[in-house]
């Protein structure tokens, strides 16, 4: 059945499937307008004027016909839904569909007319279930705004009556839930807060009622710049009894200070917002701590938000246990972004679910084999931010503490849609900028691209400091007082305000000013603020309540004291934070080391239940708290959990850091089998992020695998030992250490352990060693297993790679047709898997295969595809294959540069496999550019590598190529050596090449019989080799007969 949703989102669904053709905003608007006026014909002329008021009548009518055509084409059974007449359009009342708007209108009317509670409750619940949110939240036309407000007020009235009815029946939990929804629906209306406060007090939760009042006060101050009305304040005072003695704080100092001396900077920000339609931009508000950066950003954001633009705020924290992408998650959870998220395509919503499970389809944590998805994951998050299409302002406080993953994502966001109406405003402590090297590099790149503007904030001048003081005091300061205040505070607005709180005559040192402020707290408030400072980030009241040892009355009194002194402020609807990070630092500094450890431990224990209930996203913070609290055993567990969580969102550096910390803490535990078993599990888990981030050939990957093997052998874990040796085998193969790799693979493929891929894994080092027939026997002897070890150890299904390598082996042994077929098979497997890394592998091997076959066009095709794929997904290793092959096809100076760059990058990755082959390609280009001496030096380097590392499969070709650049008297001897090695290896294709060159020299010297004796037997042995080379062989055989 057709389902049309207009409340809270705009979707048209047919039999559970969204109709993609109805995603056009204008078509959606036309559909919505007709549905809102169901049963009432709408004149075409009227509709044209409503939707295209700035167009001529003729053009507007043409536009209407176009959108109507698209609407009718997209709707199933369109004629049963739409009445289309010559001069009017109408949505039929009996249309076969479900409309949430009509369902709300009908049930709301029934509830309003109900005269008994049961009938009212039944209809009201149905109405509120239908009301999914504001009407058409992504549209802002006048006709939408009017109807949206009518529906919202109708819903609010229902909620008020429903809450009162439920409370009257004594059903307080349901009444509270209803009252909370009412506040969310109209967050600036105080009557809703008062009703919620009364219900909370009635339920015995006075503390929550007071926090509701505080939230109301904060929101009114931020949004409207006003205090709560007298009725709300009176209710707050009533609920606060018994109260602490009135604090001696000037009324003006309880409010946010006015913005003084920032007119020029605010104009810059407002000008940037006025140009938001020109595309994404980043503005960094930089300055020292306390200079007013966050206040300036807020001064920009609040009026923009009031005007209906999309505004979302987040911040970074200085805690070592920074959550990867935590600011992005905070943005995504904001109510402002929800309409856009609801309209996301399922593919992108799934990516959102990786980071914020409640917002999307939450997949299982992706294994590191899927680390290629990092780019798609980042793109999904960025598209979510931009999904609404409205001008968007993102605010990020304390950029200096931003994690590397968020920085990388911000670059994706700023580049994804060049025309996206996005302004990102961040604050930055300039004195800590250089400490974050990733941030420095990111800012330099964005500045060079013209995407970043830095706005420096200086302290206030003496005149401006006096003006700020006058705004906060009953009377202006005299000249002497103003001079003294400037000298004490340096013109930093935060210190001006704090100094005034202390009378304006205290120490000018920042630390002293803040310490004096904190010293005035009562014992309970001091304990509570120490706990909050120990956490190091925003917090919920419930967390502090759980971690503290205060009774409810003391806890609420302490919290009220911190609130009234403006030490704490509301950070989100459910969390609080320090009014400034400097206050947090000062509060933590006042704690003694033993007291800190105690508070860290309390917080860790309190947070454990949150981790268990809500998932592992807070594991890093719990690990940090346990470690700082002197409980390393429990910290190890949470560091490992934090590493798994980081892995799920592709924050590989964070994952490695947590695994390393867990291993370091474990090393301090008593030795024994238990410790070794835990170290083995951690080491095995560490391999995947290390390999994904640094490459499988990185030395640390090998060290970690070797440690795993040592541990598993000591524990008698045969299966784990085999897994470790298999991983080590592949590690050494990629490094180019063929003999070592083969020795390990021989053990794995021994009769007592031979199974599936373990035997196939032996084929690769045998191939590298030039033992081609043995390698093919390994590949064709068994069917590979389908166990998960394949992907766990290697980061991909090895079958794709093995088939690609098998194509090279077929070519080497003189089976060109089989080589083509096997390369195609590898590509089919990769494409069917849908894994981009496997697709890259298949194209990489296919590009080499077609190069060996002499097919330049298809080599170019696969090399180009490979490079595009690797650029998109960030695959370094196979991307260099594509770069080198492109260089060989290009030739000349440009081709040489590409090859040299690719070889150097492979060396940086410690990836030595196939290095002789790559060097040979470079030598060929050097020969073509008349530099034989340099080519000879490169070929000598390639042979030395091949001999030293056992990577000898291309050795015959190295000697053959060297014959063309060496002294004339040595050429035949080198060709003879090439022929002998190729013959020994069974490499018919290379044997044929060497024989052709040698036979050519025989013919040139008049030794026709020698040429015929050399080529004759090969004609039948090499019948499956490259057709072009067989044609050359036939031509030479004819020459031997003349």
Give the residue from 924, 331, 968, 214 showing the smallest Cα distance to 565: 214
Burial of 1042 (0-12, 13-18, 19+ CB in 10 A): exposed
pLDDT at 331 over 70: yes
Q: Domain spanning 265-458 has what CATH number?
A: 3.40.50.300
Q: Which helix (H) or strand (E) holds 915?
A: helix 915-928
pLDDT at 756 over 60: no
Give the residue from 432, 491, 386 showing the smallest Cα distance to 284: 432
pLDDT the model gives residue 354? 82
pLDDT the model gives residue 251? 43
In 400-415, which positions are buried (b, 16+ CB within 10 angstroms) versus exposed (e)?
bbbbbbbbbbbbbbbe
- Residue 597 to residues 108, 134, 626, 756, 1030, Cα–Cα distance (Å): 56, 48, 9, 53, 79
Within 8 A by CB and 6+ apart from 925, the residues are 887, 888, 891, 892, 895, 896, 899
pLDDT at 667 over 70: yes
Q: Where are the domains of the chain?
A: 2-95, 265-458, 463-519, 961-1042
pLDDT at 7 over 90: no
Classify strands 88-91 and 281-287 as parallel, antiparallel or unpaired: unpaired
Give the residue from 730, 762, 726, 729 showing the smallest Cα distance to 746: 762
Cis peptide before 242 (omega within 30 of 0): yes
Lowest-confidence pick of 666-670, 743-747, 803-807: 743-747
pLDDT at 611 over 90: no
The torsion angles phi and psi of 462, rounded to 5 degrees, stand at -55, -40
- pLDDT tens, residue by residue, 179-221: 998 988 888 889 999 999 999 888 777 778 888 888 888 877 7
Looking up tokens 């044929």 gives: 992
Q: How far is CA 1016 from the centre of its chain?
A: 62
Kindly write down the DSSP assignment for every residue of 53-76, as one continuous string.
Answer: TTS-HHHHHHHHHHHHHHHHHHST
Percent of the chain with pLDDT over 70: 91
pLDDT the model gives residue 472? 76
- Where helices occur in 262-314 by DSSP H, the ranges are 263-274, 293-306
Highest mean pLDDT pick, 64-73, 124-133, 798-807, 929-938 = 929-938
- pLDDT tens, residue by residue, 966-1020: 998 899 999 999 999 999 999 999 999 999 999 999 999 999 999 999 999 998 8
Q: How far apart are CA 196 and CA 266, in angstroms?
A: 37
Burial of 972 (0-12, 13-18, 19+ CB in 10 A): middle
Mean predicted lDDT score pLDDT of the chain: 86
Two tokens, residue 393: 């302002």
The SS3 of residue 570 is strand
- Residue 879 to residues 377, 407, 654, 730, 905, Cα–Cα distance (Å): 20, 24, 25, 19, 10
76 touches 2 (CB < 8 A)? yes
pLDDT the model gives residue 636? 95
Instruction: DSSP letter for 335, please.
Output: G
Q: How far apart are CA 811 and CA 789, in angstroms?
A: 30
pLDDT the model gives residue 751? 53
pLDDT at 454 over 70: yes
Q: How far apart are CA 948 and CA 739, in angstroms?
A: 10
Q: Which residue has the higher pLDDT, 509 or 833?
A: 833
Give the residue from 788, 816, 784, 815 showing the smallest Cα distance to 801: 784
pLDDT the model gives residue 781? 58
959 touches 987 (CB < 8 A)? no
Two tokens, residue 912: 């030595």
- pLDDT tens, residue by residue, 838-892: 888 999 999 999 999 999 999 999 999 999 888 777 777 888 999 999 999 999 9
Two tokens, residue 564: 């009234």
pLDDT the model gives residue 796? 61
Looking up tokens 């000598």 gives: 940
pLDDT at 248 over 70: no
For the chain, counts of helices (H) and of strands (E): 52, 14
Whether domain 2-95 has CATH 2.30.40.10: the reply is: no
Give the residue from 928, 986, 985 showing the smallest Cα distance to 961: 928
pLDDT the model gives residue 241? 65
The model's pTM is 0.71
* Average pLDDT of span 763-790: 73
939 touches 961 (CB < 8 A)? yes
Highest mean pLDDT pick, 193-202, 249-258, 508-517 = 193-202
Q: How far apart are CA 544 and CA 68, in angstroms?
A: 58
pLDDT the model gives residue 312? 93
Q: How far apart are CA 43 and CA 29, in angstroms?
A: 16
Per-residue pLDDT band for 770 (boundaries 50, 70, 90) equals very high
- Residue 101 to residues 147, 344, 370, Cα–Cα distance (Å): 11, 21, 42
* Average pLDDT of span 317-324: 74
Two tokens, residue 1008: 């026709």
pLDDT at 500 over 80: no
- pLDDT tens, residue by residue, 125-143: 999 999 988 888 777 777 8
Q: Which residue has the higher pLDDT, 647 or 822?
A: 822
First to last CA, the chain: 85
Q: How far apart are CA 544 and CA 546, in angstroms?
A: 5
Per-residue pLDDT band for 246 (boundaries 50, 70, 90) equals very low
Give the residue from 955, 961, 916, 912 showing the smallest Cα distance to 935: 961
Two tokens, residue 651: 């924050």
- Residue 776 to residues 339, 747, 773, Cα–Cα distance (Å): 57, 18, 5
- pLDDT tens, residue by residue, 520-556: 888 899 999 999 999 988 888 888 888 988 888 888 8
- pLDDT tens, residue by residue, 57-103: 889 999 899 889 888 888 888 888 999 998 999 999 888 888 888 99
845 touches 862 (CB < 8 A)? no
Report the sign of the C-alpha dihedral through residues 472, 478, 482, 488, in that order: negative
Instruction: DSSP letter for 539, please.
Output: B
Q: How far apart are CA 741 and CA 767, in angstroms?
A: 11
Report the sign of the C-alpha dihedral through residues 374, 375, 378, 379, in that order: negative
**Three-state secondary structure string covering 672-727:** CHHHHHHHHHHHHHHHHHHHHHHCCCCHHHHHHHHHHHHHHHHHCCHHHHHHHHHH
pLDDT at 789 over 70: no
For residue 264, the number of C-alpha atoms closer than 13 Å in the C-beta half-sphere is 6
**Which contacts of 70-77 are long-range, i.e. CB under 8 A and separated by 24 or more positions?**
70/21, 70/24, 70/27, 71/22, 71/27, 71/30, 71/31, 73/21, 74/12, 74/19, 74/21, 74/22, 74/27, 75/2, 75/12, 75/19, 75/22, 76/2, 76/14, 77/2
With residues binned 3-state (H G I as helix, E B as strand, rest as coil), the percentages for the chain, rounded to 5, are 70, 5, 25
- Residue 663 to residues 624, 653, 656, 658, 678, Cα–Cα distance (Å): 14, 15, 10, 9, 9
* Average pLDDT of span 812-838: 91
Lowest-confidence pick of 1-10, 97-106, 275-284: 1-10
Q: How far apart are CA 75 and CA 3, in angstroms?
A: 11
Within 8 A by CB and 6+ apart from 649, the residues are 324, 325, 354, 355, 377, 405
Percent of the chain with pLDDT over 90: 44
- pLDDT tens, residue by residue, 404-435: 899 999 999 999 998 999 999 999 998 888 88
Q: How far apart are CA 1012 and CA 999, in angstroms?
A: 8
pLDDT at 478 over 70: yes
911 touches 877 (CB < 8 A)? yes
Two tokens, residue 653: 């550096």
pLDDT at 763 over 90: no
pLDDT the model gives residue 905? 92
Question: To 5 degrees, how large is the angle CA 380–CA 383–CA 388?
Answer: 140
Classify strands 11-14 and 2-5 as parallel, antiparallel or unpaired: antiparallel
pLDDT at 782 over 70: no
Burial of 362 (0-12, 13-18, 19+ CB in 10 A): middle
The SS3 of residue 579 is coil
Instruction: DSSP letter for 291, please.
Output: S
């Amino acid at each position: 059945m057709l389902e049309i949703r207009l409340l809270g989102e705009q979707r048209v669904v047919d039999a559970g499937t969204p109709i993609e053709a109805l995603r056009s905003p204008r078509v959606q608007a036309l559909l919505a307008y007709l549905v809102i006026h169901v049963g009432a014909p709408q004149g075409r002329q009227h509709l044209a004027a409503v939707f295209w008021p700035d167009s001529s009548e003729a053009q507007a009518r043409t536009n209407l016909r176009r959108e109507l055509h698209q609407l009718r084409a997209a709707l199933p059974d369109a004629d049963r839904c739409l009445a289309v007449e010559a001069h009017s359009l109408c949505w039929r009342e009996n249309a076969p569909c479900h409309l949430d708007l009509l369902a709300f209108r009908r049930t709301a009317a029934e509830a309003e007319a109900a005269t008994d509670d049961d009938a009212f409750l039944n209809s009201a619940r149905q109405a509120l279930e239908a009301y999914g949110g504001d009407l058409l939240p992504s549209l802002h036309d006048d006709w939408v705004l009017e109807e949206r407000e009518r529906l919202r007020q109708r819903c609010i009235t229902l909620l008020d009556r429903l809450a009162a009815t439920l409370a009257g029946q004594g059903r307080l939990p349901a009444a509270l839930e209803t009252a909370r929804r009412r506040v969310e629906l109209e967050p600036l209306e105080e009557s809703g807060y008062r009703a919620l406060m009364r219900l909370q007090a009635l339920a015995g939760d006075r503390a929550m009622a007071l926090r509701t009042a505080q939230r109301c006060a904060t929101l009114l101050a931020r949004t409207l710049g006003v205090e709560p009305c007298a009725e709300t304040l009176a209710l707050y005072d009533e609920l606060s009894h018994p109260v602490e003695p009135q604090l001696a704080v000037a009324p003006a100092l309880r409010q946010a200070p006015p913005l003084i001396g920032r007119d020029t900077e605010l104009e810059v920000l407002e000008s940037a917002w006025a140009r938001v339609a020109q595309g994404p931009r980043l503005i960094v508000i930089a300055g020292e701590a306390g200079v007013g950066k966050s206040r300036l950003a807020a001064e920009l954001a609040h009026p923009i938000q009031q005007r209906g633009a999309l505004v979302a705020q987040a911040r970074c924290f200085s805690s070592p246990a920074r959550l990867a992408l935590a600011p992005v998650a905070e943005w995504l959870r904001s109510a402002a972004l929800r309409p856009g998220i609801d309209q996301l395509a399922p593919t992108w919503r799934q990516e959102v679910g990786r980071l914020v499970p409640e917002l999307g389809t939450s997949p299982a944590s992706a294994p590191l084999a899927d680390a290629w998805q990092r780019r798609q994951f980042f793109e999904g998050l960025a598209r979510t931010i931009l999904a609404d299409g409205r001008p968007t302002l993102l605010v990020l406080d304390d950029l200096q503490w931003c994690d590397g993953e968020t920085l990388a994502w911000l670059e994706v966001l700023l580049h994804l849609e060049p025309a996206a109406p996005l302004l990102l405003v961040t604050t930055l402590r300039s004195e800590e900028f250089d400490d974050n090297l990733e941030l420095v590099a990111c800012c330099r790149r964005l500045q060079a691209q013209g995407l970043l503007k830095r706005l420096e904030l200086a302290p206030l001048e003496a005149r401006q400091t006096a003006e700020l003081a006058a705004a906060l005091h009953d009377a202006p300061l005299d000249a002497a007082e103003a001079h003294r205040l400037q000298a004490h505070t340096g013109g930093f607005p935060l210190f001006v305000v704090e100094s005034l709180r202390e009378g304006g005559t205290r120490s000018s040192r920042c630390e002293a000013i803040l310490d004096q402020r904190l010293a005035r707290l009562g014992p309970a408030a001091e304990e509570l603020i120490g706990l909050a400072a120990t956490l190091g980030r925003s917090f919920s009241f419930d967390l502090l309540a759980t971690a503290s040892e205060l009774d409810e009355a003391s806890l609420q009194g302490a919290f009220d004291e911190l609130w009234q002194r403006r030490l704490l402020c509301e950070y989100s609807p459910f969390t609080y934070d320090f009014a400034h990070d400097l206050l947090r630092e000062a509060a933590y500094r006042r704690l003694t080391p033993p007291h800190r450890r105690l508070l860290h431990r309390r917080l860790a224990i309190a947070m454990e239940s949150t981790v268990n209930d809500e998932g592992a996203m807070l594991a890093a913070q719990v690990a940090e708290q346990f470690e700082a609290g002197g409980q390393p055993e429990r910290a190890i567990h949470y560091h490992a959990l934090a590493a798994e969580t980081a892995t799920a969102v592709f924050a590989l550096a964070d994952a490695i850091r947590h695994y390393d910390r867990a291993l370091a803490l474990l090393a301090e535990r008593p030795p024994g089998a238990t410790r070794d078993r835990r170290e083995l599990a951690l080491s095995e888990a560490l391999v995947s992020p290390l390999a994904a981030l640094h490459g499988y050939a990185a030395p640390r990957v090998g060290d970690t695998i070797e440690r795993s093997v040592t541990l598993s052998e000591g524990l008698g874990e045969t299966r784990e030992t085999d897994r470790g040796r298999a991983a080590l085998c592949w590690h050494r193969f990629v490094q180019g250490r063929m003999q070592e790799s083969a020795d390990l693979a021989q053990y794995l493929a021994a009769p007592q352990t031979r199974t599936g891929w373990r035997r196939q894994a032996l084929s690769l080092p045998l191939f590298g060693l030039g033992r081609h027939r043995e390698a093919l026997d390994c590949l064709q002897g068994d069917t590979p297993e389908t166990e998960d070890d394949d992907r766990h150890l290697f980061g991909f299904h090895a079958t794709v790679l093995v088939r690609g390598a098998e194509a090279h082996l077929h070519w080497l042994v003189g089976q060109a047709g089989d080589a083509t077929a096997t390369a195609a098979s590898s590509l089919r497997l990769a494409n069917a898997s849908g894994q981009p890394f496997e697709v890259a592998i298949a194209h990489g091997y296919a590009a080499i295969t077609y190069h060996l076959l002499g097919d330049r066009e298809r080599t170019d095709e696969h090399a180009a595809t490979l490079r595009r794929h690797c650029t998109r997904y960030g695959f370094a290793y196979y991307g260099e294959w594509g770069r080198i092959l492109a260089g060989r096809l290009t030739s000349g100076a440009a081709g040489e540069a590409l090859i040299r760059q690719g070889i150097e990058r492979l060396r940086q990755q410690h990836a030595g496999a196939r290095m002789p082959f790559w060097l040979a390609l470079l030598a060929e280009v050097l020969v073509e550019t008349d530099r034989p001496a340099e080519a000879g030096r490169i070929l000598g380097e390639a042979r030395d590598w091949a001999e030293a590392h056992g990577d000898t499969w291309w050795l015959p070709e190295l000697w053959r190529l060297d014959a063309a650049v060496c002294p004339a008297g040595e050429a035949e001897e080198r060709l003879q050596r090439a022929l002998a090695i190729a013959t020994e290896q069974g490499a018919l294709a290379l044997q044929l090449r060497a024989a052709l060159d040698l036979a050519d020299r025989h013919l040139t010297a008049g030794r026709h019989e020698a040429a015929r004796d050399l080529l004759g037997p090969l004609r039948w042995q090499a019948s499956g080799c490259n057709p072009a080379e067989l044609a050359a062989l036939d031509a030479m055989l004819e020459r031997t007969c003349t």
